[in-house]
């Protein structure tokens, strides 16, 4: 296979050599240094676990399960025969060099590590050249994301749907469509209930993007390469077209940028960059102690915390984990993103907005910035219903009088690195 046709290359495979009683397994495909010419990374193998067959194969990337694959056990298997599995996943959402681990879950819930793989892939070759630049506002709740969205969307070169609380996300809609129609399902055909084909509620991944259809090279090449590129072009153009129509509806000129706020743990940044290589990212942080005050005041925190986490203290710990996860994401992408602190937006709005506009490469003369600030910080009854403090200034440092000392200690212990780095400690 020529280099021009290569999409995925397997650099190394390490099969687990530890003994697991009478359990045996192996990987039959891919081989080290082998190359593939589709966007699907396919792993085939087998497992023998007499009396305790495997039920699921899991693919793990960066300590997270990104794919599960059910294993079909024929009725006459007697739980003793070798089970064959094939698992396929799209490389497009993955970093261009990636490491995967495969594990099997047996019938008794025991997990067995099978192998690790290191591979690389080239960027998506899309049959469409995007004209617009996405801005992703990475955030978690109660950090001032609505205020930030309102401020940035008031710049004439940036479009979003001007409806509070600015949570319309066409990009996620079409990228979810792309993934559903281009990726393989988590069940082999033998296990699929075909009524799903006719149900819009459970359309899921393309049911036929798997054997036996993909065993034919011509079909496999079209379905997992040409079809993927055509589908990507359709989805990218659809995202841009809907924002052009939104801009037209709002009386804006054709915009250069569109902005969406996304919960950081769900923002598919790698996938978005495959579609829009010029994507800009803003990471919005707030003092996690003040954020906890806002969370507690915004909802019936005590009731929901006990239901979801078992106790208020455990809910606080869970909240710190979300903060740390976003902090880790920022660290990995900080060279190409903008760090926005809620406190800076409140205390120094002019300097902060000018910094953002400079990062984006758009006009930010004083008159334009002043007009945005005046409008954003004007009295707004809709926004005031969303606030949990009497004004913006009093929302900063409120933890000193509003937050339980036990929770202050928990937050500072769990988020200490992030808080020191961003100037909160």
210 within some domain: no
User: For 354, what's the count of Cα atoms within 13 Å in the CB-facing half-sphere?
Assistant: 10
Q: How confident is the model at residue 196 (pLDDT cuts 50, 70, 90)?
A: very low
Q: Which of 70-79, 133-142, 319-328, 395-404 has the lowest mean pLDDT?
A: 70-79
Identify whether residues 47 and 159 lie together within a single domain.
no
Identify whether residues 141 and 116 lie together within a single domain.
no
Nearest 5°: the CA angle 272, 274, 279 is: 55
208 within some domain: no
Domain end call among 98, 121, 144 = 121
Give 36-76 pLDDT, tens digit per residue.
Answer: 999 999 999 999 998 899 999 999 999 999 998 888 666 66
Identify whether residues 22 and 50 lie together within a single domain.
yes
Identify whether residues 104 and 156 lie together within a single domain.
no
276 within some domain: yes
Residue 217 pLDDT: 81
Identify whether residues 102 and 144 lie together within a single domain.
no
Number of neighbours of residue 339 by Cβ within 10 angstroms? 16
**Which strand (E) or helix (H) includes residue 291?**
helix 288-298
Residue 195 pLDDT: 45
> In what side-by-side order are the strands of the sheet with 40-48?
24-29, 40-48, 83-90
User: For 124, what's the count of Cα atoms within 13 Å in the CB-facing half-sphere?
Assistant: 31
pLDDT over 50 at 190, yes or no? no
Identify whether residues 14 and 86 lie together within a single domain.
yes
Identify whether residues 23 and 105 lie together within a single domain.
yes
CA–CA gap between residue 277 and residue 381 (Å, rounded): 39
Residue 198 pLDDT: 44
User: Nearest-CA neighbor of 206 among 225, 230, 229, 223?
Assistant: 223
User: Nearest-CA neighbor of 69 among 82, 52, 81, 84?
Assistant: 84
- State percent of the chain over pLDDT 90: 70
Residue 223 pLDDT: 86
296 within some domain: yes
Identify whether residues 366 and 293 lie together within a single domain.
yes
Higher pLDDT, 346 or 75: 346
- State percent of the chain over pLDDT 70: 85
Averaged over 65-91, what is the pLDDT?
A: 79
Residue 367 phi/psi, 5-degree rounding, is -65, -40
CA–CA gap between residue 151 and residue 290 (Å, rounded): 21
Give 347-385 pLDDT, tens digit per residue.
Answer: 999 999 999 999 999 998 999 999 999 999 886 756 666
Residue 192 pLDDT: 44
**Which strand (E) or helix (H) includes residue 68?**
strand 64-70
Residue 299 pLDDT: 64
Higher pLDDT, 192 or 130: 130
CB 415 within 8 A of CB 323: yes
Q: Which of 79-83, 93-97, 108-112, 170-174 has the lowest mean pLDDT?
A: 79-83
Query: Average pLDDT of the chain?
Result: 88
Number of structural domains (the chain) is 2
Residue 322 pLDDT: 94
Averaged over 200-215, what is the pLDDT?
A: 62
41 within some domain: yes
Identify whether residues 167 and 44 lie together within a single domain.
no
330 within some domain: yes
Residue 381 pLDDT: 57
CA–CA gap between residue 118 and residue 9 (Å, rounded): 9
Give 282-308 pLDDT, tens digit per residue.
Answer: 999 999 999 999 988 876 655 666 557
Contacts of 294 (CB under 8 A, 6+ apart): 142, 388, 389, 395
Give whole-number Cα distances, 422 to 160, 285, 327, 425, in Å: 29, 9, 10, 8
Which CATH number goes with the domain that contains 84?
A: 2.60.40.10
CB 223 within 8 A of CB 214: yes
Identify whether residues 159 and 67 lie together within a single domain.
no
Q: Which domain holds residue 86?
A: 3-121
Residue 2 pLDDT: 46
47 within some domain: yes
Q: How confident is the model at residue 387 (pLDDT cuts 50, 70, 90)?
A: confident
Residue 388 pLDDT: 75
Give 243-283 pLDDT, tens digit per residue.
Answer: 999 999 999 999 999 999 998 877 889 999 999 999 999 99
CB 142 within 8 A of CB 291: yes
Identify whether residues 33 and 116 lie together within a single domain.
yes
Residue 209 pLDDT: 67
127 within some domain: no
Identify whether residues 164 and 313 lie together within a single domain.
yes
User: Nearest-CA neighbor of 287 among 406, 425, 390?
Assistant: 425
């Amino acid at each position: 296979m020529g280099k021009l046709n290569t999409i995925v290359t397997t650099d190394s495979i390490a099969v687990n050599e530890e003994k697991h009683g009478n359990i045996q397994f192996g990987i039959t495909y891919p081989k080290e240094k082998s190359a593939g010419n589709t966007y699907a990374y396919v792993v085939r193998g087998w497992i023998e676990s007499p009396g305790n067959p495997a039920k699921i194969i899991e693919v793990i990337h960066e300590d997270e399960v990104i794919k599960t694959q059910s294993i079909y056990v024929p009725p006459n298997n007697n739980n003793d025969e070798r089970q064959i599995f094939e698992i396929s996943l799209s490389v497009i959402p993955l970093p261009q060099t990636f490491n995967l681990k495969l594990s099997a879950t047996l019938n008794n819930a025991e997990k067995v590590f099978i192998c690790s793989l290191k591979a690389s892939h080239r960027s998506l070759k899309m049959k469409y050249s995007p004209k617009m630049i996405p801005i992703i506002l990475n955030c978690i709740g109660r950090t001032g994301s609505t205020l930030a969205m309102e401020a940035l969307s008031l710049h004439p070169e940036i479009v979003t749907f001007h409806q509070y609380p600015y949570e319309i996300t066409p990009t996620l809609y079409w990228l979810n469509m792309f993934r559903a129609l281009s990726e393989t399902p988590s069940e082999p055909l033998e296990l699929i209930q075909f009524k799903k084909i006719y149900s819009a509620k459970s359309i899921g991944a393309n049911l036929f993007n798997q054997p036996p259809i993909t065993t034919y090279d011509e079909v496999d090449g079209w379905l997992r390469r040409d079809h993927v590129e055509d589908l990507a072009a359709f989805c990218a153009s659809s995202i841009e077209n809907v924002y052009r129509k939104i801009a037209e509806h709002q009386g804006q000129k054709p915009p250069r940028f569109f902005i969406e706020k996304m919960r950081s743990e769900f923002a598919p940044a790698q996938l978005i960059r495959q579609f829009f290589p010029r994507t800009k990212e803003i990471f919005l942080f707030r003092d996690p102690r003040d954020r906890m005050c806002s969370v507690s005041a915004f909802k019936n925190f005590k009731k929901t915390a006990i239901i979801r986490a078992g106790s208020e203290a455990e809910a606080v710990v869970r909240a710190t984990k979300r903060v740390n996860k976003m902090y880790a994401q920022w660290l990995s992408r900080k060279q190409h993103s903008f760090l926005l602190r809620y406190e800076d937006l409140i205390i120094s709005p002019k300097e902060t907005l000018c910094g953002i506009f400079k990062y984006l490469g758009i006009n930010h003369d004083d008159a334009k910035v002043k007009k945005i600030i005046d409008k954003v910080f004007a009295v707004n009854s809709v926004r005031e219903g969303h606030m949990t403090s009497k004004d913006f200034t009093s929302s900063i440092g409120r933890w000193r009088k509003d937050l339980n000392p036990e929770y202050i200690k928990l937050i500072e212990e769990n988020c200490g690195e992030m808080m020191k780095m961003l100037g909160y400690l």
